[in-house]
A = this chain, B = another copy of it.
Amino acid sequence: MINKLICFFTLIFFSCTESVPLNSKKDLNYGIVIHGGAGTMNRKDMTPEKEKQYREALEESVTLGYKILKEGGTSQEAVEHSIRVMENSPLFNAGKGAVLTAEKTIELDAAFMNGKDLNAGAVASVKTIKNPITAAIKVMEESPHVLLSARGAEKFAKEKDLEIVDPSYFFTERRVNDLDKIKNIESSANRSTRQADKEFISMQRYGTVGAVALDKHGDLSAGTSTGGMANKKWNRIGDVPIIGAGTYANNSTCAISATGWGEFFIRNVVGHDISALMEYKNYSIEEAARIVIHDKVAKLGGDGGVIGIDREGNVVMEMNTSGMYRAHINSEGELSIEIYKN
């Protein structure tokens, strides 16, 4: 009898000590991180006006997501709506403003993953869906599949009453000019000699947008959306719609969204590898992201960056490029917006 009583009070004691800090942690440490692409970024190329535009767009995106979290919304809603802001802005390589393929078309990829149930959805090579991130979520919620592509994915989006636009909606003068410039550089004799040209080509690989969030309920989500690589050929699909590579979320570890030279992020299974280092080796999200970006992606010759948030609200914004458009708001409402690495 005494044993049973001791057992009972021990149980009560541990239930109390465990549940209070855990709940308060969840309530306290929610947060959201977004990115608008990583790449070679020189301060000399950036006018004050251009920088202001990027900062304003990043602030609008991250603030909307934060507001959703603060009001008790889910990380899924926060990630979706933050990404939609960037998809609707012509500044980023996602949705409106996406880069052009070699055939002067637009091919958009997006993915979303929920850490709570490891459910996921993605679309690849779509040309008429205004907000691919919303289509990715619909694939997760209303189809038995994870990845739909091309015209089939567009048909699905139409059946689900998502907003369909004419492909011309996505075109911006800037991206049309960029493609002409790439084609000129690639066909010119001295394409490999001029540093400025090399940097320009390099920049065209990037610009993907993404968001990761932890909500008050303790649930993690990750989403990513992109126009892919400028001048891409052969219906190339990058790392963004590949669950485990460009997009990954798992409530036992973290939520990750990547941006960079997609092929290297696929080969390194970047998102899942960061999660695995945390789960199996007890690394912090900072250590795990540093190892994967600097020791693995960079070692194979790739570059780019990731944003991540773990289940305690710790965040990481790691890159091996000279910059990444990024912003973060923590549960205190503190906003940070950064462009350059240092």
Output the least CB separation between A208 and chain B (Å): 16
B237 pairs with A147, CB closer than 8 A = yes
> How far does the alpha carbon of A122 sit from the alpha carbon of B152 in the complex, in Å?
20
Assuming the contacts A243-B245, A273-B272, asked whether A267 and B149 have C-beta atoms less than 8 A apart, the reply is: no
A124 touches B149 (CB 8 A): yes
Q: Is A234 positioned at the interface, with any CB of B under 8 Å from its CB?
A: yes
**Which B residues are in CB contact (< 8 Å) with A143?**
234
Candidate in A119, A120, A244, A268 with the most chain B CB atoms within 10 angstroms: A244
Q: Please determine whether A236 and B272 come into contact, CB atoms closer than 8 angstroms.
A: no
In the complex, A145 has a CB within 8 A of chain B: yes
Q: Mark A147-189, 1 if CB is under 8 A from B, else 0.
A: 1111111011000000000000000000000000000000000
Residues of B within 8 A of A153 (CB): 234-235
Within 8 A of B (CB), among A203-252: 232-238, 242-245, 248
Residues from chain B with Cβ under 8 Å of A146 in the complex: 262-263, 266-267
A272 to B292, CA, bound (A): 14
* Nearest neighbor of A152 in chain B, beta-carbon distance: B235
Cβ–Cβ contact A263 & B124, under 8 A: no
Complex contact A149–B152 (CB within 8 A): no
Find A235's partner among B118, B150, B273, B281 (CB 8 Å cutoff): B150
A248-B232 Cα distance, complex, nearest whole Å: 25
Q: Are A148 and B244 in contact (CB under 8 A)?
A: no
A96-B113 Cα distance, complex, nearest whole Å: 34
| A269 adjacent to chain B (CB < 8 Å) | yes
| Structural contact, A269 and B269, CB atoms closer than 8 A | yes
Which listed residue (B156, B269, B276) contacts A248, Cβ 8 A? B269
Q: What residues on B are CB-neighbors of A243 within 8 Å?
A: 242, 245, 266-267, 269
Interchain nearest-CB distance for A1 vs B (Å)? 38
- Decide if B149 touches A149 in the complex (CB within 8 Å): yes
In the assembled complex, which residues on chain B have CB atoms less than 8 Å from the CB atom of A148? Answer: 234-237
Interface centre among A113, A147, A149, A234 (most CB of B within 10 A): A234
Given known contacts A266-B147, A273-B272, A233 and B152 CB-to-CB distance under 8 angstroms: yes
- Tell me if A144 counts as interface (CB < 8 A to partner B): yes
Q: Find the B residue at minimum CB distance from A267.
A: B118
Neighbouring B residues of A269 by C-beta, 8 Å? 243-244, 248, 269, 272
Report the minimum CB–CB distance from A119 to chain B (whole Å). Answer: 7
**Cβ < 8 Å to B, chain A residues 70-84:** none
Report B-chain residues with C-beta under 8 Å of the C-beta of A119: 267
Contacts of A233 in B (CB 8 A): 152, 156
- Would you call A300 an interface residue if the criterion is a C-beta within 8 Å of the partner chain's C-beta atoms? yes
Besides A113-B267, A147-B266, A276-B276, 11 more A-B contacts (Cβ < 8 Å) are: A117-B300, A143-B234, A147-B236, A147-B242, A148-B237, A149-B150, A150-B235, A152-B233, A269-B269, A272-B273, A273-B276
B-contacting residues of A (Cβ < 8 Å)? 113, 117-120, 124-125, 143-153, 155-156, 232-238, 242-245, 248, 262-263, 266-269, 272-273, 276-277, 280-281, 300
Across the A-B interface, give the 3 residue pairs with the lowest CB-CB distance, nearest first. Answer: A152-B235, A152-B234, A276-B276
